[in-house]
Chains A and B, each alone.
Chain A
Amino acid sequence: KNEVEQSPQNLTAQEGEFITINCSYSVGISALHWLQQHPGGGIVSLFMLSSGKKKHGRLIATINIQEKHSSLHITASHPRDSAVYICAVRSGSSGSARQLTFGSGTQLTVLP
């Protein structure tokens, strides 16, 4: 069973700061998701990656398969980025085991 750990659990930043959220997992995976959960509870998929790096606007996600580690970066943070950011991994080989195992989430608060 994959164990997914996120750090930090809580993060408070000033508007404009560069933010990094980390995720590590215990067992090899076929894909890793970064998700955003807003106070109302809805979940939005930000990235899915299995290697390298992806960028979308001010968000950057990287993954190091050998080290079993991924990071989510937010550049020029803004109060509207305040949310819970969740890492979720899919274990198993391609075509099997599609279920996701979730981390506990990182509560990000960006102050104006």
Chain B
Amino acid sequence: EPEVTQTPSHQVTQMGQEVILRCVPISNHLYFYWYRQILGQKVEFLVSFYNNEISEKSEIFDDQFSVERPDGSNFTLKIRSTKLEDSAMYFCASSGAESSYEQYFGPGTRLTVT
């Protein structure tokens, strides 16, 4: 069964460093998402991406964040200058075309900023 994959599973970085989280969505999906979950808190929406551009973003998704689909298979989330409060689990998800809105989640990347 097709699945969303994410790398790395765990990333440790120092405050102020740039990180790139990678996702490979399900191959025929058209919509891509990033969510995050700070330890002990709810999952929160960050951004959605369709047709090579951001379609929605939350107030969390500020100028520190960017997304890209560099090669038609990968979907990346970049955090330019990490802060301690960026420590969280980051989930990528993808969904199909108009008639199917079900989102399929990747296993997550645990980001630890020290």
Which residue numbers of A lie inside 8 Å of B, CB to CB? 30-31, 33, 35, 40-45, 48, 86, 88, 90, 94-95, 97-105
Contacts and interface: CB of A to CB of B under 8 A. Distances in A.
A102 B43 contact: yes
Interface string B89-103: 101000100100111
Interface stretch (B17-25, B65-73, B75-83, B104-112): B104-112
Question: Interface range on chain B: under 10, 10 to 19, 20 to 34, or 35 or more?
Answer: 20 to 34
Given A45-B105, A99-B56, 18 more contacts: A41-B107, A42-B105, A42-B106, A42-B107, A43-B43, A43-B105, A44-B105, A45-B103, A94-B98, A98-B33, A98-B48, A98-B55, A98-B103, A99-B33, A99-B45, A99-B48, A102-B42, A102-B44
Interface in B23-58: 31, 33, 35, 37, 42-45, 48, 55-56, 58
Contacts of A103: 42
Contacts, number: 58
- Secondary structure class of chain B's binding surface, majority of residues: strand
Contacts of A40: 107
A97 B95 CA distance: 13
B42 A33 contact: no
6 contacts: A48-B102, A48-B103, A98-B33, A98-B101, A99-B33, A100-B35
